[in-house]
């Protein structure tokens, strides 16, 4: 019975790590942060550049600010995520009622579950009027979140606002720092103060699965040795079939990873040192940037994910020690 405990823990935390990996992947791949505001006209020209160059990413602009909102049960100061573009890029939410405001919506709003309960006492508020800084807006959706948040859209052709943050998505090119800098320069946005790329997110999402892969590989080797020793003829056939299945599914596994994480030569130590260097640089940039509420939420998930990795690694070691 005691032998099963580490396996059960490994399995449970493997599922937790897998769930959190999906949560992490909902966050946008590339984010540009500017200390000096981007004017509405500059943002409009950047979108025109994206339209004229289909291989480039599509930008979504946003700010985080304090807003006054009021409804049936009074009003409060809360966090407003003001955006122009794709709502899922600025706040990767799971909606429990309605949906996110569209890019051409200038009269809607989406609210968190906590804000809906605070102002209406219910999440059944789609179609209700929410007053945001004196302006009436219609609730389009309610999303899961324990913080009191409001997603406030502006029409993509509205040039009346300035922006500090830009999310890039939908590009045919890899979301690397170089490609982000190239787009920022070519589109007229200028050099950002900080660039957050999805490489770090993808790496941390993948990391907790490593103990599972390692222990699975070890046990497959042990199983192969056992079969080959007891059943020489069938063992060869089984090993050939296992190798064939691995070769078939390897491209699909590699395709789910960013290209910069896929080694061109597995024995190339320069690649591995470059991989760890890029990951380290991405981590430093992520911790150095002044955090928004979304960044704080992502950081909490990343910390949990690293905790999952530590627990799984300890249990993988315990399993192998018990096997002797």
* pTM of structure: 0.76
Determine the Cα–Cα distance for residues 308 and 316; give it in Å rounded to an integer.
12
97 touches 123 (CB < 8 A): yes
The tens digit of pLDDT for each residue in 92-141 reads 888 999 999 999 999 999 999 999 999 999 999 999 999 999 999 999 99
Long-range pairs, 24-27, Cβ under 8 A, ≥24: 24/201, 24/204, 24/205, 24/298, 24/301, 24/302, 24/305, 25/201, 25/202, 25/205, 26/88, 26/92, 27/92, 27/198, 27/201, 27/294, 27/298
Determine the Cα–Cα distance for residues 194 and 200; give it in Å rounded to an integer.
14
Q: Is the pLDDT of residue 231 over 60?
A: yes
- What is the band of 28 on the pLDDT scale with cuts at 50, 70, 90? confident
Number of H helices, E strands in the chain: 10, 10
3-state DSSP call for residue 227?
helix
Paired tokens of 205 = 């999402």
Q: Is the pLDDT of residue 261 over 70?
A: no
Long-range pairs, 213-222, Cβ under 8 A, ≥24: 214/316, 215/10, 215/316, 215/319, 215/320, 218/320
The tens digit of pLDDT for each residue in 280-290 reads 666 667 777 78
- What is the band of 6 on the pLDDT scale with cuts at 50, 70, 90? confident
The tens digit of pLDDT for each residue in 67-102 reads 999 997 788 999 999 999 999 889 888 899 999 999
Q: Kind of pairing, strands 95-98 and 135-143? A: antiparallel
pLDDT of residue 281: 66
Residue 85 gets the label, from left (phi > 0), alpha (psi -120 to 50) or beta, of: left
Within a 10 A sphere around the Cβ of 4, how many other Cβ atoms?
Answer: 9
Sole residue written with tokens 């939420």? 297
Cβ burial of 160 (10 Å; 0-12, 13-18, 19+) is: exposed
Paired tokens of 96 = 């429990």
Instruction: Give Dmax (Cα) for the chain.
Output: 80
Instruction: State the DSSP code for 267.
Output: T
- What is the band of 10 on the pLDDT scale with cuts at 50, 70, 90? confident
From the centroid of its chain, how far is CA 14?
18
**Helix %, strand %, coil % of the chain (to 5):** 50, 20, 25
3-state DSSP call for residue 80?
strand
User: Of 246, 208, 209, 248, which is closest to residue 224 (Cα–Cα)?
Assistant: 246
3-state DSSP call for residue 108?
strand
């Amino acid at each position: 019975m005691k032998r099963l405990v580490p396996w059960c823990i490994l399995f449970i935390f493997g599922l937790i790590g897998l769930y959190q990996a999906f949560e992490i992947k909902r966050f946008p791949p590339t984010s540009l942060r500017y200390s000096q505001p981007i004017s509405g006209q500059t943002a409009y020209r950047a979108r025109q550049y994206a339209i004229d160059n289909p291989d480039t990413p599509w930008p979504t602009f946003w700010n985080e600010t304090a807003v006054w909102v009021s409804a049936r049960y009074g009003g409060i100061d809360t966090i407003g995520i003001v955006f122009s573009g794709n709502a899922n890029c600025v706040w990767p939410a799971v909606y429990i009622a309605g949906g996110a405001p569209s890019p051409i919506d200038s009269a809607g709003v989406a609210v968190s579950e906590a804000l809906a309960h605070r102002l209406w006492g219910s999440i059944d508020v789609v179609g209700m009027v929410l007053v945001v800084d004196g302006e009436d807006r219609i609730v389009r959706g309610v999303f899961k979140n324990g913080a009191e948040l409001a997603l406030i859209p502006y029409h993509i052709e509205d040039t009346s606002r300035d922006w500090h943050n830009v999310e890039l998505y939908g590009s045919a090119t890899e979301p690397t720092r170089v490609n982000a800098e190239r787009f920022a320069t070519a589109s007229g946005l200028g050099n950002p103060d900080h660039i957050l790329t999805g490489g770090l997110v993808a790496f941390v999402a993948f990391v907790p699965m490593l103990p599972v892969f390692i222990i699975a590989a070890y046990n497959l080797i042990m199983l192969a040795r056992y079969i080959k020793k007891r059943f020489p003829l069938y063992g060869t056939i089984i090993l050939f079939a296992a190798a064939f299945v691995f070769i078939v599914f390897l491209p699909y596994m590699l395709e789910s990873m960013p290209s910069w994480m896929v080694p061109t030569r597995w024995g190339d130590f320069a690649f591995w040192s470059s991989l760890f260097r890029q990951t380290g640089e991405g981590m430093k940039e992520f911790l150095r940037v002044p955090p928004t509420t979304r960044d704080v939420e992502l950081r909490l998930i990343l910390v949990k994910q690293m905790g999952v990795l530590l627990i799984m690694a300890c249990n993988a070691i315990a399993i192998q020690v018990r096997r002797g």
